[in-house]
C-alpha cells in the first residue's frame, strides 16, 4: 500500500512516535511524506520515505495529485486544529480528494492507530479493487 504521512509542526513529534511504534507495519509499505516530516521519520526509524516538498510550498498538492491519480491508498495527516495554517486551502483540498477517491484519512493519533492496526490485519485489501477501478476509469 502507498501511505502518506503528514503532520503540522506541533504534531511532528506525534507522527515520529507513531512511526516508531508501528515501524513493524510501515516497513512493508511504500511511504510518502511532506519534506521535514519525511526526513524526521526516516531519521528516527530508518524507514525509506519518499519526500515531497514541504506542505506549505506544495507538498500537500503533490500528495493530492497522487490521490487524484489513484496512486495513494491511505493518508495519515496529523493536523493541529488549534493553530491557523497559512496553507489551509491546500489542506481542505487534500481532505476533499480523500473523500472523493475513497482514501482512508486519519487526522488525529487515535484515528491513525485504528487505521494502522486495520492495515496490519489486512483489512484494506478492498483498496486494491477500488484502485484498479479508478485506474481503469482514468484510462477511458
Domains and CATH numbers, the chain: 12-124 (3.40.50.1380)
The confidence score (pLDDT) of residue 87 equals 67
Q: Of the residues 14, 43, 48, 60, which is catalytic?
A: 60
pLDDT in tens, 72-94: 999 999 998 887 776 677 788 99
3-state helix, strand, coil in the chain (%, to 5): 55, 15, 30
Asked about 60 being catalytic, the answer comes back as: yes
pTM: 0.90
In sequence order, the β-bridge partners of residue 33 are 5, 51
pLDDT tens-digit readout, 28-83: 999 999 999 999 999 999 999 999 998 888 898 999 999 999 899 999 999 988 87
Amino acid at each position: 500500500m502507498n501511505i502518506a504521512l503528514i503532520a503540522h509542526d506541533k504534531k511532528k513529534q506525534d507522527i515520529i512516535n507513531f512511526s516508531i511504534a508501528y515501524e513493524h507495519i510501515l516497513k512493508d509499505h511504500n511511504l510518502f511524506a511532506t519534506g521535514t516530516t519525511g526526513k524526521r521519520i526516516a531519521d528516527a526509524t530508518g524507514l525509506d520515505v519518499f519526500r515531497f516538498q514541504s506542505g506549505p510550498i506544495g507538498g500537500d498538492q503533490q500528495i493530492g495529485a497522487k490521490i487524484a491519480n489513484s496512486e495513494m491508498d491511505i493518508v495519515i495527516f496529523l493536523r493541529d486544529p488549534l493553530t491557523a495554517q497559512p496553507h489551509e486551502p491546500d489542506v481542505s483540498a487534500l481532505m476533499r480528494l480523500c473523500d472523493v477517491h475513497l482514501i482512508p484519512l486519519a487526522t488525529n493519533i487515535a484515528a491513525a492507530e485504528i487505521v494502522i492496526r486495520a492495515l496490519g490485519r489486512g483489512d484494506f485489501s478492498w483498496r486494491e479493487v477500488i484502485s484498479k477501478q479508478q485506474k481503469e476509469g482514468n484510462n477511458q
